[in-house]
Amino acid sequence: MLKSLLASAASNQNVTNVVKSCLEILGFSQYRSSVSNDTLPFGKTKDVRAWMSAAVAYQYDCYGGLSYQGGNSQEVNETKAFLDNLIGLSSNALSMIVSYDLFGNETRSWRPPKTERDGFWEDPKLRGEMGFSGEFPSNLTVDATVCKNVSSGCYKTVQEAVSAAPSNATARRFVIHIKEGVYEEIVRVPIEKKNVVFLGDGMGKTVITGSLTVGQPGVNTYESATVAVLGDGFMASGITFQNAAGPPTHQAVAFRSDSDLSYIENCEFLGNQDTLYAHSLRQFYKSCRIQGNVDFIFGNSAAVFQDCQILVSPRQVKPEKGENNAVTAHGRIDPAQPTGFVFQNCSINGTPEYMALYNSKPKVHKNYLGRPWKEYSRVVYINCNFEALITAQGWLPWSGDFALKTLYYGEYKNSGPGSNLSQRVTWSSQIPAEHVNAYSVQNFIQGDDWMPTSS
């Protein structure tokens, strides 16, 4: 169906681009669904829930792309009707997997999924400390080196080194040392390149930078990423990922991840609108620096951010006029999806340039913890520090009352001048102490099962 649509839309660049994207991401959806089907008999229900959640998200993304840019031809409408049915079937399957995970073979207890807004939290399997994070390995053996001095025998580009990694490797990691330097390139880690590790020489020293942005021919938000990772088990340390698209610019992603069980530590993400696209599956970010302004941490993954520094930067056009910035825009589309953003022990502040603007006229510079990109958006902040730039209301609507009855925006024991709860919007929540462990690394992304240690 999509291939037929692609052939008939050859003269329409917008339709051609969105159909090509659909073909790619529906392939990912099929892969995740197939792996889920093969794995479910072995009882790994948390894995299956994560993978089927991604499958649903990819289907929805294709539907959304066709709705936004596909036009109104009969073929497009027929394709959308097919996708709508597929999404419904996949969503039902995901809901049944959730019920099986919660109630086992007691099918009389199976029910539609409930969320925190219904007063429901899953019983955590562990009661450990919230600070669990594993440890980035310290004794990795380098398999490939990238450097600016090509005479030394190393790879000239990061992409060349990625291409040299074995496909579907599960026995060991493929470690790429990216030496100090600025690498102006677009990098793609495809789905078959598993367990790839990027080791840089430090934030600001090893820099991978690009400037793709929505509005350029053939570029959508998904494709605008400077670095995009699909292969599971991706790891990175000591690198700056940057999208340096200049004004006037729209969505311009520095880093996009669809890598399940990914671990990123001591990395920097620099951009403006849509800096970090945590698109799907389970991700962990530790001691990172994330900078932007409009919805600059977004996506539909289950991601934990621990000990990270989050910085608001000035808008690129007339920053002195003021703005409404949202740190997050989480995109959960289905209450059965185990996705959300969890921030633990993080700080939210502005860059020195932004704080100079803010302090000169604080009433026109407004910053929020998040806004609901999709209906079941979920974001929580636990033991974080909010500086004064965070508004008293805390959270920003997307449009009217969209998602305000279905989202979950939670806070727990945060500090700093921006953490005062007395004027918070009524549709945000305070996480009950007895349920805060539902958002631990162990329980939210099953980190104790897969996170690396120093060995």
CATH architecture of the domain with range 1-113: Up-down Bundle (1.20)
97: its two tokens: 């997997």
146: its two tokens: 């990238």
Residues, the chain, total? 455
419: its two tokens: 């953490």
pLDDT value at residue 455: 47
**What does the alpha-carbon distance between residue 372 and residue 427 come to, in Å, rounded to a whole number?**
11
CA angle 223, 226, 230 (to 5 degrees): 65
Question: Burial level of 23, CB count in 10 A (0-12/13-18/19+)?
Answer: middle
**What does the alpha-carbon distance between residue 41 and residue 36 come to, in Å, rounded to a whole number?**
9
How many beta carbons lie within 10 A of that of residue 217, not counting itself?
6
**What does the alpha-carbon distance between residue 182 and residue 188 come to, in Å, rounded to a whole number?**
17
Cβ atoms of 304 and 284 within 8 Å: the answer is: yes
Place of tokens 């649903």: 56
3-state secondary structure string, the chain?
A: CHHHHHHHCCCCHHHHHHHHHHHHHHHHHHHHHHHHHHHHHHCCHHHHHHHHHHHHHHHHHHHHHHHHHCCCCHHHHHHHHHHHHHHHHHHHHHHHHHHHHHHCCCHHHCCCCCCHHHCCCCCCCCCCCCCCCCCCCCCCCCCEEECCCHHHCCECCHHHHHHHCCCCCCCCCEEEEECCEEEECCEEECCCCCCEEEEECCCCCEEEEECCCECECCCCCHHHCCEEECCCCCEEECCEEEECCCCCCCCCCCEEECCCCEEEECCEEECCCCCEEECCCEEEEECCEEEECEEEEEECCEEEEECCEEEECCCCCCHHHCEEEEEEEECCCCCCCCCEEEEECCEEEECHHHHHHHHHCCCCEEEECCCCCCCCCEEEEECCEECCCECCCCCCCCCCCCCCCCCEEEEECCECHHHCCCCCCCCCEECCHHHHHHHCHHHHCCHHHHCCCCC
pLDDT value at residue 6: 63
What is the tens place of the pLDDT at every residue in 349-389?
999 999 999 999 999 999 999 999 999 999 999 999 999 99
**What does the alpha-carbon distance between residue 193 and residue 52 come to, in Å, rounded to a whole number?**
21
Q: Which residues are catalytic?
A: 274, 295
Per-residue pLDDT in tens (0 to 9) along the chain, 455 residues: 677 766 666 667 777 888 889 999 999 999 999 999 999 999 999 999 999 999 999 999 999 999 987 777 888 899 999 999 999 999 999 999 999 999 999 999 999 999 999 999 998 766 556 777 778 998 899 999 999 987 778 999 999 999 999 999 888 999 999 999 999 999 999 999 999 999 999 999 999 999 999 989 889 999 999 999 999 999 999 999 999 998 877 899 999 999 999 999 999 999 999 999 999 999 999 999 999 999 999 999 999 999 999 999 999 899 999 999 999 999 999 999 999 999 999 999 999 999 999 999 999 999 999 999 999 999 999 999 999 999 999 999 999 999 999 999 999 999 999 999 999 999 999 999 999 999 999 999 999 999 986 54
CATH topology of domain 144-449: Pectate Lyase C-like (2.160.20)
CA angle 453, 342, 46 (to 5 degrees): 65
| Angle between the N-to-C axes of helices 74-103 and 45-69, in degrees from 0 to 180, rounded to the nearest 10 | 160
**What does the alpha-carbon distance between residue 360 and residue 190 come to, in Å, rounded to a whole number?**
46
Residue range(s) occupied by CATH 1.20.58 in the chain = 1-113
pLDDT value at residue 7: 65
Residue range(s) occupied by CATH 2.160.20.10 in the chain = 144-449
Question: What's at 369, amino acid-wise?
Answer: L
**What does the alpha-carbon distance between residue 1 and residue 73 come to, in Å, rounded to a whole number?**
13
**pTM to 2 decimal places:** 0.96
Place of tokens 């019983």: 123
